[in-house]
Amino acid sequence: MPVPPRDLRIAFGRFATGVTVVTCRNSEGTPHGATVNAFTAVSLEPALCQVTLTRKSKACGLLDGAPFAVNVLGAAQVDTAWHFAGRPSDPGPQWAEGPTAPVLVGSAAVYSCRPWRTYDGGDHLIVVGEVEHIDVSDDQPLLFYRGAFREIGPVETGTHWGGSLDCPEAGWFDAESTFLKIA
């Protein structure tokens, strides 16, 4: 028996995510954006990231073979998140011209992408972009958890990632490790 969609939505909401706005241009050349929390890194070489958009969204149609940018929103950009989630504000967010597509001023990070592949994802499309340029600030990111926007709080454990065996700098295998083929 399939999981009821409402139950699945509640369960998915238990996973904290960052908040992004995917930006591109519409057919008239006007900047367009959509708030998306389904974003992830895919590959370092080639440099790839993905966003997942509902097939019903306007942005889904606009990204078909088009360059785009993924704007990671900062903690102070809640109004921007709502603006592109269907609750427009006046004045709206400030735009700038990016290397591949329009970008939002004040983002914590921006990945400017060229289209790479699009995959079927059920009622969504998985859009993979090749990252051509990045812009990163020191701003804290905006988070989404259990249906609400959140901010990063203080670290409770006091232990840095370096305390984990999975730490890329000090874990089982560091970035300099090489592996030999055993016959």
This prediction has a pTM of 0.81
pLDDT in tens, 38-83: 999 999 999 999 999 988 888 888 888 999 999 999 999 999 999 9
| DSSP class per residue in 125-138 | EEEEEEEEEEEE-S
Give pLDDT tens digits for 5-50: 889 888 888 888 899 999 999 999 999 999 998 999 999 999 999 9
- 70 near 129, Cβ under 8 Å? yes
pLDDT tens, position by position, 98-135: 999 999 999 999 999 999 999 999 989 999 999 999 99
How big is the chain, counted in residues? 183
103 CB burial (10 A radius; 0-12, 13-18, 19+): buried
The residue type of 105 is V
d(CA 77, CA 106): 8
**What is the rounded CA–CA span in Å between residue 97 and residue 117?**
24
Tell me if 58 sits within 8 A of 9, measured CB to CB.
no
Report yes or no: 129 and 48 within 8 Å, Cβ to Cβ: yes
Cα–Cα distance measured from residue 135 to residue 64, given in angstroms and rounded to the nearest whole number: 24
The CA-CA-CA angle for residues 149, 151, 155, to 5°, reads 145
Question: What residue ranges in 20-146 does DSSP mark as E strands?
Answer: 20-25, 31-36, 39-43, 48-54, 68-72, 95-97, 102-104, 109-121, 124-136, 142-145
Domains of the chain (ranges; CATH) run: 5-156 (2.30.110.10)
Distance (Å, rounded) from C-alpha 72 to C-alpha 15?
17
Query: Is 96:103 a contact under the CB 8 Å cutoff?
Result: yes
